Structure 1
């Protein structure tokens, strides 16, 4: 059956016409594979050559080059890694090496900040932070105050520009960078920090400060019946120029006749803010400052068009005026004919750039120096005022710790300071000396009565705070530098504090 079926199927198959045979190359499988492999290699080589050396390069192929200048660094690291008596912390050692590079620059304004330090630095440029409110820098191995921030715990405690911070909570800060010291000084609102302060040749004094929110309210303005606007700029942030513009516009509508720009105790900030504020007063086309890079001639940054306030202006400076404050003062002094009043400024004539690293750390380093419109470099010299005016003598009296108890028979330099404060406020203390006697006690009781405090005759706690607050208010109401700055605009001489005019 099967056999018959197969025969029938064969019979039914019709023969197909034959097609001419094609041409084929016969090759063994091994040789074929090797040929394909060789083809791929040649193609890849030609592609790399074209991309690397062709006229229209898409990718630049780089071969790692050994940095021979780092050989000693690598050798030192390997030696420590291998033979130090305990296991080293790689990250800490590497951060230390980077810090060492910045220390070798000898530049107090260039600094390496690890991620934690960088976070604090960035926080200080935001709307607020928590701490004592003092701008500091490292100088000659010491931590020096550039300026306390207005209305901060540092200002209220009486910390002054150029005070040296010797220790924080008993820990010496000598040899630390400014960013390292900030980590020790800052903390949560309501917590306290104890600083050992050295002022000039005086004995170091211990100050206990309570940390607080430090708002970055950079502009405070007021105008009295004399129509002279007094605009205080505490720092130069991103919004400062806009705040100054709003203040000036408001006072202009009220009949402003002159402006006192007050940058005392202002440690600086953004260069752009100083340029924008200067632009309100410097005529278009005149230089605001010159920038000098590593190479080339100084490049002038000139005033542009836009809103101008065509009124007489004076600028107030002191030892705490630095950086952007000095740019503003120099620009108005040399390009706008403004008189500068007060004391010689701090003297910071360099510009810094901040570079962010992938791990959150920062490199802050000097990229150029700036010169006044006349080409003067004020670094470590400062801007000299046209009219030299001292602050009130009592402005530099030492801080009195409210924990101290000054009472009968106490003999101390702090008693001397307290007696001077009371005398300035109009209380009779007898002879100003170091002895807390009956007359001092009577003066304290009289002050306590006026301040609605318990009349114990002992200077401590709330009484000490009230005394220092009253002294600050006295200074604000009877400010010889501000009075002189206003008198130059009104033509009326101030009735307090003698001044020395350079002209």
Structure 2
């Protein structure tokens, strides 16, 4: 790569009258003859490409030795030099270089490939390896929008009612339009106890809703399990982090001691995580030697990953998936379905069929980029299509109701989509408002007062603050109690246990 630059380009143009440049193709030298001035040349060490350019001066004739020819970068360096010499303000070289890398990454139009600043890279590593502070939601950039993949179980995001596919349009009034997911994470995260207000647009609703959330510690506890009766256990895996396979093995051993004879493995709203963990966990349920997945590179070369287990577990299994099940959770679901004949129950999964790797730079910034696509054991690519369950079961309609802003006051004569959501929530938990059209009348007021009295809240008939939060909390409990997907999975499992 040739980089020839004068320290004061403007003065050189005024002083010299003749310049001849000759490139010797055999030797790789560029000879520049200049008259009437002494030209000072400098060399640049290009850390990102390993290219070094040396400049040597011999009186009036200058000989520049070019280490490596990279003509595709000529335009990039010309743009850099133009800005460096001609921009009306002093330039931040580091900022320009970071911007150039970020621009290359964005040109790929791949929501899973990101350049991360030092701060963004720290957030990325902490979300995989340890606890962090924030709202607790996996997000991605999709079609130019920042979209929720899944809220983390027990997180402030889940408690606030965020759902997969919710679009975050702004944070504290700042638009996220055009941001990468890494840039958005930096804005959304913050110290425990601080408040952040998200503007959420839920698909199928007309108006966006402002959702205030108090940030908290988000521990990376990824395995939750309990006995649900009749020798059946339910284990939920919320993501695939560093110790997930180890924690799952311990939980299964614990549940077997409690009498587990069948297992419902819940992968709903699991946004994925580490490939190695997905392979380790899949190996717990797929017979040894049978395929877990295939990874195909850009040249079409395929690497197969067989199970390392000694055989099937000694209990029947059913797996739950939904539209928030993505990436590594889809690897696991596809592996047990196609290589172990396990039934899948729920809704079609998210559909992420690519593999990413991350590379740290010396300054601790990072690039996460797509390296391959993964295929199911039968060679299916589920990208943007998802995995269709054997038995499709939706949750009740009220499980997808729009969230309500607790800071907004809903009272007599109010009319809005949030009032409509509140009316449907009240009816679902047993406080019939008499109507569900979004107009807050006397019957709605009476339903709110009854709900407040039943929950030891001031019975003023106004829905705001603690009353709104309690209403959404009670709805979430109702969804868990009337979990139609889990009920169907248990039913299927009982048939297999006979």
Q: TM-score range by the shorter chain?
A: 0.7 to 0.9
1:348 deviates by 0.6
Could you give the per-residue CA deviations for residues 283-331 of structure 1, whole angstroms, max 9, x where no partner exists?
A: 1111011111122532211111347522111111111110000000000
* Corresponding residue of 2:423: 419
* Corresponding residue of 2:341: 337
* Corresponding residue of 2:234: 230
Counterpart CA distance in 1 for 2:486 and 2:441 is 36
Greater displacement, 347-356 / 422-431 = 422-431
| Alignment TM-score, normalising by the size of structure 2 | 0.84
Q: Which structure shows the bigger proportion of residues in strand conformation?
A: 2
Counterpart CA distance in 1 for 2:188 and 2:346 is 30
Counterpart CA distance in 1 for 2:253 and 2:378 is 30
Kept in 2: contact 1:282–1:331 (CA 8 A): yes
- Residue 172 (str. 1) matches residue 214 (str. 2): no
* Corresponding residue of 1:20: none
Counterpart CA distance in 2 for 1:305 and 1:382 is 26
- Residue 480 (str. 1) matches residue 484 (str. 2): yes
Kept in 2: contact 1:281–1:310 (CA 8 A): no
- Residue 407 (str. 1) matches residue 411 (str. 2): yes
Counterpart CA distance in 2 for 1:154 and 1:198 is 15
Counterpart CA distance in 2 for 1:290 and 1:143 is 29
Structure 2 unaligned runs (5+)? Answer: 1-64
| Structure 1 vs Structure 2 CA RMSD | 1.5
Structure 1 unaligned runs (5+)? Answer: 1-61, 493-503
Kept in 1: contact 2:209–2:405 (CA 8 A): no
Counterpart CA distance in 2 for 1:237 and 1:337 is 26
* Corresponding residue of 1:377: 381
Could you give the per-residue CA deviations for residues 373-407 of structure 1, whole angstroms, max 9, x where no partner exists?
A: 00000011111111111111111111111111112
- Residue 362 (str. 1) matches residue 363 (str. 2): no
1:251 to 249, 255, 263: 255
Counterpart CA distance in 1 for 2:341 and 2:88 is 66
1:432 deviates by 2.1
In the TM superposition, what are the counterparts of 1:145-184 in structure 2 within 5 Å?
145-184=148-187
- Give the direction of change, closer, same or farther, for the CA distance of 1:397–1:201 in structure 2 (3 Å limit): closer
Counterpart CA distance in 2 for 1:236 and 1:319 is 17
1:156 deviates by 1.3
Structure 1 or 2, whichever has the larger Rg, is 1
1:433 deviates by 2.2
- Residue 272 (str. 1) matches residue 276 (str. 2): yes
Could you give the per-residue CA deviations for residues 148-187 of structure 1, whole angstroms, max 9, x where no partner exists?
A: 1111111111111111111111111111111111111111
In the TM superposition, what are the counterparts of 1:310-325 in structure 2 within 5 Å?
310-325=314-329
1:63 deviates by 8.0
* Corresponding residue of 1:141: 144
Counterpart CA distance in 2 for 1:114 and 1:414 is 38
Q: Which structure shows the bigger proportion of residues in helix conformation?
A: 1
1:196 deviates by 1.5
1:201 deviates by 4.3
Counterpart CA distance in 2 for 1:484 and 1:433 is 32
* Corresponding residue of 2:105: 102
Could you give the per-residue CA deviations for residues 470-497 of structure 1, whole angstroms, max 9, x where no partner exists?
A: 11111111100110111101139xxxxx
SS at match of 1:179: helix
1:346 deviates by 0.7
SS at match of 2:420: helix
* Corresponding residue of 1:500: none
* Corresponding residue of 2:80: 77
Kept in 2: contact 1:134–1:147 (CA 8 A): yes
Kept in 2: contact 1:145–1:165 (CA 8 A): yes
Counterpart CA distance in 1 for 2:209 and 2:442 is 26
Kept in 2: contact 1:420–1:432 (CA 8 A): yes
Counterpart CA distance in 2 for 1:305 and 1:328 is 14
Kept in 2: contact 1:137–1:145 (CA 8 A): yes
In the TM superposition, what are the counterparts of 1:5-16 in structure 2 within 5 Å?
none
SS at match of 1:144: strand
SS at match of 1:280: helix
